[in-house]
Amino acid sequence: MTKIACILYNKNISKGKGLQIIADLFLGESMNLFDILGPIMIGPSSSHTAGAARIGYVARKLLGEEPIYIDIGLHGSFAATGDGHGTPMAIVGGLLGMKPDDERLPQSFELAHSLGIEIIRHNIYLREAHPNTAVLFVKGKKRQLEIQAESLGGGTIRICKIDGINTNFNGDYPTLIVHNIDEPGHVAGVTALLAKRQINLATVQLYRDERGGYAVMVIESDQRIPEDVLYEIEEMPGIIKVTYLNMDA
């Protein structure tokens, strides 16, 4: 089968994207195999299934413990066609620690119920949100977390909000999320500690709800952040909560 036939046959590629890939091939542009084949996954849709599983998996990592309560709010296309594409099952599977290619994904609800996990699924409407958006409220025995996330296609996601504060990251890098009181010195203290431990920063994003109110810093790094560094940050004055995401751990 020719390259063009393979592209047109692949159900994970939209017509518009397929034509763009073909044009790039004719123009001699280099292509990543992922752009053509999409992610390795269980389920029919890279956005509604693979992306949904990744959203759940990131939420589990951010929670940092086994969930005991899961509330899933689906918006837009997720709400309209998500059940047929397995979106809720994929999100629950991710929250149980399953990745998009885990063969247990179709049984995620049964596995969750066997563990005594309560699950609520409902539709929501969000203004100016991506059509493939989910809002998850998750509780563990010690912690709780709310995230709003988008599935952008091809298994790629974006975390838009954590506990009501705007964010913008996808989990590709080790990611440190620090919740703090919005006052001078916190950003400098955290970044100075990371520099002292020879941790190179890829991006630093700062968010707050209002001046002097609740703030969040999202720091992506090139290296894994050791647990003792996370503990030292947690003990800094004015720090409310520290969450760490490392998809490879």
Q: Is residue 155 part of a domain?
A: yes
Total domains, the chain: 3
Which CA distances in Å does 46 have to 1, 10, 17, 39, 109?
23, 12, 14, 7, 20
What Cα–Cα distance (Å) separates residue 206 from each residue in 33, 120, 154, 179?
34, 32, 28, 10
Do 93 and 142 have their domain in common?
Answer: yes
Same domain, 22 and 73: no
Dist CA 214 CA 63 (whole Å): 19
CATH number of the domain bearing residue 235: 3.30.70.260
Q: Is residue 170 part of a domain?
A: no
Same domain (yes/no): 156, 215: no
Contact 82, 92 (CB under 8 A): no
Residues 80 and 182 in one domain: no
Residue 36 has what pLDDT? 40
- End position of a domain, from candidates 102, 130, 162: 162
pLDDT at 33: 43
- 169 falls within a domain: no
Q: How far apart, in whole angstroms, are the C-alpha atoms of residue 219 and residue 249?
A: 17
Which pLDDT score is estimated for 47?
62
Answer with the one of 94, 127, 162 that is the final residue of a domain. Answer: 162
The torsion angles phi and psi of 190, rounded to 5 degrees, stand at: -70, -50
Domain identity same for 127 and 227? no
pLDDT of residue 39: 46
Judgement on whether residues 142 and 195 belong to the same structural domain of the protein: no
Query: Are residues 33 and 68 part of one domain?
Result: no
Whether 22 and 113 map to the same domain: the answer is no
Q: Do 80 and 147 reside in the same domain of the chain? A: yes
Q: Within this chain, do residues 53 and 74 fall inside the same structural domain, yes or no?
A: yes
Considering the domain architecture, whether residues 185 and 241 belong to the same structural domain is answered as yes
CATH of the domain at 108: 3.30.1330.90
Structural domain for 13, as ranges: 3-37
Question: 3-state SS of the chain?
Answer: CCHHHHHHHCCCCCHHHHHHHHHHHHCCCCCCHHHHHCCCCCCCCHHHHHHHHHHHHHHHHHHCCCCCEEEEEEEEHHHHHHHHHCHHHHHHHHHCCCCCCCCCHHHHHHHHHHCCCEEEEEEECCCCCCCEEEEEEEECCCCEEEEEEEEEECCEEEEEEECCEEEEECCCCCEEEEEEECCCCHHHHHHHHHHHCCCCEEEEEEEECCCCCEEEEEEEECCCCCHHHHHHHHCCCCEEEEEEECCCC
Identify the pLDDT of residue 124.
95
110 CB neighbour count, 10 Å cutoff: 12
Domain boundary among 162, 197, 217: 162
pLDDT string in tens for the chain (249-residue length): 444 334 333 444 444 444 454 445 455 555 454 444 444 444 445 566 889 999 999 999 999 899 999 999 999 999 998 888 889 999 999 999 998 888 898 999 999 999 999 999 999 999 989 999 999 999 999 999 999 999 988 788 999 999 988 899 988 899 999 999 999 999 999 999 999 999 999 999 999 888 888 899 999 999 999 999 999 999 999 999 998 998 776
State the pLDDT at residue 52: 92
131 inside domain? yes
Does residue 51 sit in the same domain as residue 158? Answer: yes
Asked if the structure places residue 221 within a domain, the reply is: yes
Question: For residue 95, what pLDDT is reported?
Answer: 96
